[in-house]
Amino acid sequence: MMATFKQLWRSHKLLVLAFLVALTVTCFFATRFVASSIYWADPAHRDVQIEGWMTPGYVARSYRVSPRVVETALGLDGFAGRGRTMADIAESQGKSLEVIRADVVAAAIAARLLGSAPR
């Protein structure tokens, strides 16, 4: 096997390097996918109370609704909430975190009742 690898390396260095890069990228995304799946499969991460450190994307995953539902409840459009915390959004809108929390939870419940939760 090692002789075969050495022969491949000598005759096709670029191809071997491309394969190793592709393998590394695949392993990275596979690890990320598995870690994310394990994290979100844990019932302790579902319907958690909204805290100031959470992002709209995290809240959407926790409540199992579309990110669009959370963005609409927060009055954001598109990428305006990306990377911002709930505390930052509340502060920029001049609202308390409790008001933001109530708006998002109400929107999430309504979305679930209407069946617009992601599958």
pTM given for the model: 0.76
pLDDT at 51: 94
Q: What is the pLDDT of residues 46-76, one digit of tens each?
A: 999 999 999 999 999 999 999 999 999 999 8
User: Closest Cα partner for 69 from 22, 16, 18, 109?
Assistant: 109
CA geometry: angle 25, 78, 85, nearest 5 deg = 75
| pLDDT tens digits, one per residue of 73-115 | 999 876 766 789 999 999 999 999 999 999 999 999 999 998 8
